[in-house]
Amino acid sequence: MLELRTPGELDAMRAAGEVVAQVLAAVREAVAPGVRLRELDDVARDALRAAGAGAPFEHYRMLPSMPAYPAVICTSVNDVALHGIPTVRRLEEGDLLSVDAGASVDGWVGDSAISLTVGAPSAEDAALIATTERALQAGIAAAVAGARLGDVSAAIGAVGRSAGYGVNTDHGGHGVGRTMHEEPHVPNEGRPGRGVRLRPGLVVAIEPWFMAGGDDSYWIDEDGWSVRTGDGSRAAHVEHTVAVTEDGPRILTAAAVRSSVG
Ligand code: MG
Ligand code: MG
C-alpha cells in the first residue's frame, strides 16, 4: 500500500531531509586525498549528532539473514556503485566517490546521495556525474501529480541510455517515510504512462546510478554490501527524497537556502 503524507507530515520530513543535506555538505567538505573513508563516516556521525538526528543506515539489513550495515553513510569509490562500506581505505586523487546519507528526525527519514571526485575530475568522470545529476533532475521534473511512476523511471533511463551508460533496475528509488525503504520501488528505467498514479503526498527517493562502461550488470562484493560494476568501469549515483505536491515536486533533501539579509 502506498502511504500519502499530509502537508504537515511533509514539513516534518523536510526537517529530516535538511539534516541529510547538512551531513552531505560536511562530508563533501572533508573529502581530500589521504582521508580515510571511515573518517568521512565519523564526520557524518558528528553532523547527525549535532542535529540530534538518528542514523537509519546503521544496523540496516537488506534481509534478516544478511549482515547489519556497520556505518551511517555509504561511501562508494570508482567501480563500487552503491552501498560501499566506509573502511580504512584512503581517498586518492582522481577517485570518484559517491556518498549516500540518511537521517531520521522525529521518526521521519530523509535519504540523499551525491557524487564527486577527489580533486579535479577527468572529462569522463565529469560527464558521468553531470549526466547522472541530469537524470535526477529529469526524474524529479516527472514527479508531478497525475503522472505515473513509469514517467519518472522513463525520464531517468532515457538520460542514462542516451549517454551510452549502463543502467540496472534491481537497485533504484523507493518510497520514504517512517522507514527508509517503503513502497513503491522506483526503477531507473521504465515505460511512460505505466505504473501507479502519482498523488500529492507521495514521497519517493529518486536515485539514478549509471555505469560508465555501458554494461548493465553488477556483482556484490564479498563484504556482502558493495555493488560493483560488472565491467569494472566507474559508476556515479545521486539521490534526493522528493514529495509529489499540488504545487509540483518538493525536494525534501535540498540544501537550505540561508539568507544573509538582516
Ligand atoms: Mg540513499
Ligand atoms: Mg535511497
Spacing, Cα 180 to ligand 1 middle (Å):
8
Spacing, Cα 130 to ligand 2 middle (Å):
19
pLDDT tens per residue across span 69-127: 999 999 999 999 999 999 999 999 999 999 999 999 999 999 999 999 999 999 999 99
- 1 in a domain, yes or no? no
- 108 in a domain, yes or no? yes
Spacing, Cα 260 to ligand 2 middle (Å):
32
Which ligand has the minimum distance to the alpha carbon of residue 103? 1
Spacing, Cα 143 to ligand 1 middle (Å):
18
Domain limits for position 223:
7-251
- 11 in a domain, yes or no? yes
Find out whether the peptide bond into 184 is cis, omega within 30 degrees of 0.
yes
Domain count, the chain: 1
Q: Please tell me the pTM assigned to this model.
A: 0.97
Q: Is 239 strand, coil or helix? A: strand
φ, ψ at 45 (rounded to 5°): -60, -45
Residue 260 pLDDT class (50, 70, 90 cuts):
low
Bridge partners (DSSP) listed for residue 260:
none
Report the CATH number at residue 138. 3.90.230.10
CB of 157 closer than 8 Å to CB of 189 = yes
C-alpha cell recorded at residue 184: 513503491
Spacing, Cα 174 to ligand 1 middle (Å):
9
Gap between the Cα atoms of 104 and 83, Å rounded: 19
For residue 250, pLDDT beyond 60:
yes
- 259 in a domain, yes or no? no
pLDDT tens per residue across span 136-164: 999 999 999 999 999 999 999 999 999 99
Spacing, Cα 262 to ligand 2 middle (Å):
37
For residue 227, pLDDT beyond 60:
yes
Spacing, Cα 234 to ligand 1 middle (Å):
18
Which ligand has the minimum distance to the alpha carbon of residue 83? 1
- 31 in a domain, yes or no? yes
Which ligand has the minimum distance to the alpha carbon of residue 180? 2
Bridge partners (DSSP) listed for residue 220:
227
pLDDT tens per residue across span 22-76: 999 999 999 999 999 999 999 999 999 999 999 999 999 988 888 899 999 999 9
- 261 in a domain, yes or no? no
